Structure 1
Amino acid sequence: MLTAMALAVCTAFTAACSSGAGTAAPETTKEAQTQAPSETEKEAAPGAESEAAAAPEGQRHSLTMASGTNGGVFYMLAAAYSQLIPSVNPNMTINVEASAGTNENLALLSSYEADVSFANPGDALSAYEGKREFEGKAATNLRAVMSGNMNYFHVMTLEDSPIKTLEDIKGRKVSVGPTGAPYIMPEIIEAATGFVVNEDYTGEWMSHDQAAEALINGDIDAICATNAIPSSAYSSLTAAHPDVVFISLTEQEISNVTTKHPQSYVPTVIKAGAYSTIKEDTPTVGLRVLMFTNDQVDEDAIYQLTKAIMENTEAAEAIYAPAADYCLETQKESIDSYPLPIHPGAEKYYREAGLIQ
C-alpha cells in the first residue's frame, strides 16, 4: 500500500509540473539499503547539478516521508523532495506516504512508522512534552531536522457574506483545517478573539480542497486555514471565483495570538497579489513549518538528506516555490528555537556549515 501511495503521489505531482500511533520501536537503527538506483532516480530535477547523476560512493538510504492532505503544503513539499533528492543524490530514495496532516505525522514518526515528515512547531512541542493526545506518552524520541516555509493564517469568505472581520465568524460554520491538524486553527481563533470552537462557532475539519468546494457550495460560511503561499487549493479557488475575499486580522488580534503563543506564531502579511483576489496587503499571523524525524533514523541518512536540501534550494524552488525557504539562511534565524532536540545527522551538517560551533 505504501509503495502504491508513493507512486500515486509522485505521478500526480510530476503530471502537474509537466502541465505548466503506536507500535514499539525497532530493535536496531534503520540501516541503509543496497539496491542500485532506478532510472527514475537518475533523472535530474530542474536546476540540479548534472554531475549529481553519477552515484557517489557511500551508503544507500530509503526514507519514508509522511506528507499531508491533497492541496496542502506538506503534500506538495514531500512530492517535491521525492523528485529532487534522488536526482542530486542517487543513493537516496524518498517514499511518500499521504497522511491527514500534522498530528498523524507526529504519531507516525513517534511510533517509528515513518522516517521524516513535517509539522507545525507548536504541535511538535506539545507531542514532545506529552500534551493533548500525547498525554502520558510523551514523544521524546522526536528530533528536529530543519525549519522551512512560512505557513500563513488565511481567513476567506465570499464577497456577499456578512463576515467582514474574524469576530464575525461567531455563530457561523467555519472550516478549521484537516482532521490531522485539529488544534491549530481553533488555537489561533481562540487566542485572537476568545471564541471557542463548537461553542462560539461550528468547526468543520476538512482538507483544503474540500474546504474550497464547501465554501462555494454554501456548506460553510468561511475558511480558516494555515498554508504556504501560494496554496494550490486556494489559488485555484480564487482563480475560478473572483468573489472570494480575504479577511485581515486586527493589530490587537495579531498581538493576542503572538503574546499567548510566542514560540509558535509571528506577525506577517499576505502580500497583495499573492492570490488573484487580494488587492492589498492582508495582515495576519504565521508559523514556520518544521521538518522532523525520530531518534532511530540513521545519522548518515539525515546528514545526506539535510545536505541535499540545503545545497539545492534553487532546484527545489523550481519544483515547488515554498521549498525555497528550506535553506541555510532560514536555519540561521531559527536553529536556536527548534521545538525539538536536533538530530545528530542534521547537527553534523550544520556544524560543517558553521551554524553550530
Structure 2
Amino acid sequence: MYSRYGTELAAAMTAELPISVETSETQGSVDNLRRVAAGEAFLGFAQGDTAADAVVGSGEFARPLPIRAVARVYDEYVHIVVPEDSPIMSLSDLAGRPVSLGSRDSGVQVIAGRLFEATGLSIDDVQNAALGVDDSITALREGKIEAFFWVGALPTPGIEQLAEGTPIRMVAIGPDTIARVNEGHAGVYRVADFPSGSYGVERHVTTMTVPNYLVTSAAAPEALIADALDVLFRSRATIAGEVRAAEFLDRRQAIFTAPVALHSGASRYYVDSRR
C-alpha cells in the first residue's frame, strides 16, 4: 500500500511542482522513519505507533529521531489471516506454529510483538518467517505458514485476491487485549471491526486499528512541505482511482497526529487552507 500510494503521490508532485520525485522500496515504517530522519528520503509513510516511538527514542529506536508529521492519511487495520478451516482461533493458538509476523524493520512486526506481549507470549514463541505481505500471501496459499500478520488499509488488494481462491478468515483481537497494548504505547490503538463481507467473511470480526501518517524530517523546508500537501489534497481523487485508501484522506482529520508534532510547513498549510 505504501509503495502504490507513494508512487502516485510522487507522480503528482513531479507533474505539479518544479521538482523530480522518485520512490524507493523499503521494509516499512521503521525503515521509512530512519531514512527520513537521515535525510535519505523527503517523505515517508509510517504507522502512528512506530512514529510515536521514533520521536522519543523507544522500541526499535535507540535515540529520538527528528521526525515531524505532515498528515494523518488513513487508519490501518491489523489483519491476522488464517485459512478458513484453521484451528487457530486466538493469538495464544499461534504458539509453536509457523507464522509470518511481517518483514524485519516493519511496523507490522512491532505490532505483532506488542500483541504477543499483551497475550503473555513473545515473538520467540512462534516460528517467525518474517515475510512481507506479498510473500506472506504466497506462503499461506502454499501451506508453508499457518498464519500471517498484516497492518494495512481495508481492503488490502492482495488479501482480497487471496480470498478469491483460498477461503480465509481473520483472528479476532478483543478490546481487553487492545487496552493492554495501549497501556504502554501512547494510546494510539483503537477497537474496530472488519465489516461483514470483508475478504468473503460473512460476519463482523473485532480487530485493532492504528493511524497512518505521512512524515518528514524536522529540517525539511517549510514551503516545500506546504506545496507537497497542496498536491496531496488536490490529487486525492486521482490517487484514489489507483489506491482506495486515498479516499479516506480528510483535511479535517489530517492534523490529528499526536504525539508526533506537525511540521511547521504542514501547520501553515492547514491554517491557510481554512481562510
- The reply to whether TM is greater than 0.5 is yes
How far residue 81 of structure 1 moved from its aligned partner, in angstroms, is 1.0
Q: Distance in 2 between matches of 1:83 and 1:230?
A: 23
Residue number among 324, 347, 351 corresponding to 2:247 in the alignment: 324
List alignment gaps of at least 5 residues for structure 2: none
Residue 48 of structure 2 aligns with which residue?
A: 121
How far residue 185 of structure 1 moved from its aligned partner, in angstroms, is 1.6
List alignment gaps of at least 5 residues for structure 1: 1-72
Residue 120 of structure 2 aligns with which residue?
A: 194
Residue number among 100, 108, 113 corresponding to 2:35 in the alignment: 108
Residue 52 of structure 1 aligns with which residue?
A: none
How far residue 254 of structure 1 moved from its aligned partner, in angstroms, is 3.2
How far residue 99 of structure 1 moved from its aligned partner, in angstroms, is 0.7
Q: Distance in 2 between matches of 1:218 and 1:190?
A: 26
Quote the RMSD (CA, aligned, Å): 2.0
- The 3-state SS of whatever aligns with 2:71 is strand
Within the alignment, does 1:349 sit opposite 2:269 as a pair? yes
How far residue 260 of structure 1 moved from its aligned partner, in angstroms, is 4.3
How far residue 216 of structure 1 moved from its aligned partner, in angstroms, is 1.8
Mark the CA change 1:249 to 1:131 in structure 2 (over 3 Å): closer, same or farther: closer
User: Which is greater in Rg?
Assistant: 1
Mark the CA change 1:273 to 1:226 in structure 2 (over 3 Å): closer, same or farther: same
Query: How many pairs does the alignment contain?
Result: 273
How far residue 176 of structure 1 moved from its aligned partner, in angstroms, is 0.7
Mark the CA change 1:93 to 1:263 in structure 2 (over 3 Å): closer, same or farther: farther
Residue number among 55, 68, 75 corresponding to 2:3 in the alignment: 75
Residue 62 of structure 1 aligns with which residue?
A: none
- Confirm or deny: 8 A CA contact 1:309 1:326 kept in the other structure: no
Mark the CA change 1:146 to 1:184 in structure 2 (over 3 Å): closer, same or farther: same
Q: Distance in 2 between matches of 1:194 and 1:234?
A: 28
- The 3-state SS of whatever aligns with 2:68 is strand
- The 3-state SS of whatever aligns with 2:202 is coil
Q: Distance in 2 between matches of 1:154 and 1:132?
A: 21
- The 3-state SS of whatever aligns with 1:143 is strand
Residue 152 of structure 1 aligns with which residue?
A: 77
Report the AA paired with residue 36 of structure 2.
L
How far residue 234 of structure 1 moved from its aligned partner, in angstroms, is 0.8
Q: Distance in 1 between matches of 2:102 and 2:55?
A: 22
Within the alignment, does 1:304 sit opposite 2:250 as a pair? no
Within the alignment, does 1:85 sit opposite 2:13 as a pair? yes
What is the TM-score normalised by the length of structure 1? 0.71
Residue number among 194, 213, 226 corresponding to 1:270 in the alignment: 194
Question: What is the identity percentage for the equivalent residue pairs of Structure 1 and Structure 2?
Answer: 22
How far residue 349 of structure 1 moved from its aligned partner, in angstroms, is 0.4
Greater RCO (Cα-Cα under 8 Å, separation 6 or more): 2
Q: Distance in 2 between matches of 1:91 and 1:327?
A: 26
Residue 36 of structure 1 aligns with which residue?
A: none
Moved over 4 A (4+): none
